[in-house]
Amino acid sequence: MTGRELTELETPTAVVDVDTMAANLARMADYARSHGLRLRPHIKTHKTPELAAEQLRHGADGVTVATLREAEVMAAVAEDILIAYPPVGRARIERLLALPPHLRLSVALDSHDALRALAAAAAAAGREIGVLVELDLGMGRCGVPTPEAAVALAKEAATLDGVAYRGVLFYPGHIREPVAEQGPALARLQADLDRFRTALARAGVEPEVVSGGSTPTAFASHRISGLTEIRPGTYLFNDRTTAAIDACAWADLAYTVLATVISTGVPGQAVIDAGSKALSREEIRAPGASGYGALLDRPEVVVRALSEEHGILDLSRTDWRPRVGDLVRIVPNHVCVSVNLHERLLGVRGGSVVDDWAVAARGREAAP
Ligand SMILES: Cc1ncc(COP(=O)(O)O)c(C=O)c1O
């Protein structure tokens, strides 16, 4: 596709403005560097090894993944991989231990069962896997709920063969309010983190790594004392939700779905060829916002409704009257799930395609 004009492309197709992405990568890398924070981007947003390589070139210290497929694909470009997902089940552990031996691997976990099974299998395979004890600091997903539970798990990780206790991890994904209103939630997070860190230090298992960070809270990370590493993912592309909570500017949106207007028959709306199978049906979690995406060039025009292959643009807040065949660029509510629906990402500059990447870490099968 490289060398083609956007007007020549078959739609819907996922496009990435390469200059906006480069600016996003540089901004986060500069921020982390200037505050002495290690940067370990979560690659679930792009699932593309070339883009992980770009993040590493911009100063990332390693990458974060969720799935074994992602780890297998990223092993081609990254030497330090954190699997921020509990390695539960024999199949998952076998696949983890089959990753190339030169990699520095670590996992997040929150149970003695997961820890013991991993340690036994790793010791038998002659490998050592780093362990971060996952803390629940308000997300309510994975993570130990109390400092006592964290201490018990850290102590066991520090003594078992096959694993090396490296520290703690949390995900502040529950903090989704507009950036200017995050103060109270960040203060609660700090108080909870302090309780965990104090207990771990007193018990002789002080964490060397304290891994946190998300895109909505990324630029507040230096205010969280004790944090050593951040794992933002969305930031390289951003999305409508990120912009709606002021965690990025509209000009920082690097990813859009290029779509074609296919019908204007029903008054007050236009139909595009990007539906839930190109944008995803994620709701927007931001005050006063609705719909499943918005036009990059006309944010007041939102995708009001979706079928699988149809998106309905609401024209009630615009004078713009599109014609059948017009191209539009849609900013999805949640970029990670939209990317996951596409086989390729096209890098664009102005109206031309300058890069063409396979989203190689999609799916769950073992990477070839
Ligand atoms: C464990 C973990 N770390 C980091 C991230 C990245 O957060 P964000 O998408 O807000 O950048 C995620 C996102 O789901 C996550 O689950």
Ligand 1 test: best mutation among 38, 55, 231, most atoms within 8 Å of CB?
Answer: 231
What are the tokens at 191? 């108080």
Nearest to 271 by CA among 322, 328, 320, 311: 311
Residue type, 19: D
Ligand 1 atom closest to the Cα of residue 233 is 11
Q: By percentage, how much of the chain surpasses pLDDT 70?
A: 100
For residues 213 and 235, what is the distance between their CA atoms, to the nearest angstrom?
A: 11
Tell me if 167 CB under 6 Å of ligand 1: no
- pLDDT value at residue 285: 85
Q: Where would I find the beta strands (DSSP E) of the chain?
A: 13-17, 38-39, 63-65, 80-83, 104-109, 129-134, 163-169, 209-212, 229-230, 255-263, 269-272, 293-295, 303-306, 311-314, 327-332, 344-349, 352-358
Angle among Cα 216, 286, 229 to the nearest 5 degrees reads 10
Q: CB–CB of 111/196 below 8 Å?
A: no
Question: What is the Å distance from ligand 1's center to 47 Cα?
Answer: 13
Tell me if 86 CB under 6 Å of ligand 1: no
Question: What is the Å distance from ligand 1's center to 48 Cα?
Answer: 16
- pLDDT value at residue 301: 98
Model pLDDT for residues 273-294, shown as the tens digit of each residue: 999 999 999 999 888 899 999 9
- pLDDT value at residue 293: 98
In terms of Cβ atoms closer than 10 Å to its own Cβ (0-12, 13-18, 19+), residue 182 is buried
For residues 141 and 137, what is the distance between their CA atoms, to the nearest angstrom?
A: 10
In terms of Cβ atoms closer than 10 Å to its own Cβ (0-12, 13-18, 19+), residue 141 is exposed
Model pLDDT for residues 48-107, shown as the tens digit of each residue: 999 999 999 999 999 999 999 999 999 999 999 999 999 999 999 999 999 999 999 999
Residue 10: partners with Cβ closer than 8 Å, 6 or more residues away: none
Tell me if 55 CB under 6 Å of ligand 1: no
Tell me if 232 CB under 6 Å of ligand 1: yes
Model pLDDT for residues 143-170, shown as the tens digit of each residue: 999 999 999 999 999 999 999 999 999 9
Ligand 1 test: best mutation among 82, 176, 182, 214, most atoms within 8 Å of CB?
Answer: 214
- pLDDT value at residue 1: 83
- pLDDT value at residue 287: 84
Tell me if 214 CB under 6 Å of ligand 1: yes
- pLDDT value at residue 163: 98
> What is the full per-residue pLDDT of the chain (368 aa) written as tens digits?
899 999 999 999 999 999 999 999 999 999 999 999 999 999 999 999 999 999 999 999 999 999 999 999 999 999 999 999 999 999 999 999 999 999 999 999 999 999 999 999 999 999 999 999 999 999 999 999 999 999 999 999 999 999 999 999 999 999 999 999 999 999 999 999 999 999 999 999 999 999 999 999 999 999 999 999 999 999 999 999 999 999 999 999 999 999 999 999 999 999 999 999 999 999 998 888 999 999 999 999 999 999 999 999 999 999 999 999 999 999 999 999 999 999 999 999 999 999 999 999 999 999 98
Ligand 1 atom closest to the Cα of residue 216 is 10
What are the tokens at 331? 């900013």
Question: What is the Å distance from ligand 1's center to 36 Cα?
Answer: 20
Ligand 1 test: best mutation among 28, 83, 107, 171, most atoms within 8 Å of CB?
Answer: 171
Tell me if 84 CB under 6 Å of ligand 1: yes
